[in-house]
A = this chain, B = another copy of it.
Amino acid sequence: MQVTPELLSRFTLLKPLPRQVLEGLAPHASLARHARREVVVRAGVREDRVCFLFEGRLQGVGHTIDGREVGLYFVEPGDFCGELALFDDNPQPEFVIATAAAAVVFLARNPLREVMLNSSSVSNIVGRKLAERVRQMTEQRTLLGLSNIDQRVCGQLYLLIKGEQRQVESGEIVNPPTHQEIAIMLNISRERVTRAFQALQSRRIVRRDGPGRLVIIDLNSLRRFARGEEEL
C-alpha cells in the first residue's frame, strides 16, 4: 500500500527531515498490517528494510539455544525497529513479533541509508536513536538484577507507561503485553507474572479494563513498589 510523505513525518525519527527528502523516500515505503502473533521482522536473515510502527505494539524476541523465548524490548507506536540493517550487512539478531494487531510502515533500507549518509543531520538522528536503543537495553537488563520479582514486574510496568503520563497520579497502557510476553522480558515464568498482577489488582493499584487496556489506578504506589520502598 502506498505511503504519503505526511504519514512518514508522523514518526519521530523522520519528522525532522525536510519535506523534499520525505518525498524521495515515500515511493520506497509501504504500509502493512500484521495480526497479533505474526512475525514482522525475521531473525537470521539480512533484512532489506526498516520497520516503523504506526499502531499496535511490537516485541523484539530472541531464542536461547534450548529454544526458550527471550524478550528483548517493546516497540511503541511512533518508534521503529530493524535499524541495525542501516549500519552493516549482518543478519538481524532477533525476531520482532506483533503483540497486538499492528500497522507498520516498511521503508526500504538502501534509500534510507543513502539519505542517512548524505545528510549529517539525518545520520545524527539515526545515531541518536541507536544510542537510545542501547540505553533502553541497559535499563531493561538492570531490571533483571532485582532479586525481588514483584519489583521487577512493577519496574517493567513503569517502563511501559509513556513518559507524558509519568507526571500524573494515574495512567493507562493500551494494548498491554500478555503475562507471557512480560514473563520473557523479565526472565520469569508466566504464572509468577500472574501472581504479581493479582497482588497489584487486589491492592487496587492496577485494573484491567477489557482486553486492550490496563489502567494504572495508583501510579504513586506502583512507583514505590518499583523502587523497592515497599513490598507486595
Contacts and interface: CB of A to CB of B under 8 A. Distances in A.
Contacts of A148: 66
B147 A88 contact: no
B144 A66 contact: no
A5 interface: no
Contact of A84 (B124, B134, B145): B134
Contacts of A228: 65-66
Interface string A75-97: 00000000010111010011000
A132 B93 CA distance: 10
A64 B146 contact: yes
14 contacts: A62-B141, A62-B145, A64-B142, A84-B135, A87-B127, A87-B131, A88-B132, A90-B135, A93-B139, A117-B123, A126-B127, A130-B134, A144-B144, A145-B187
Interface of A: 62-66, 68-70, 72, 84, 86-88, 90, 93-94, 117, 120, 123-124, 126-128, 130-135, 137-148, 151, 155, 184, 187, 226-228
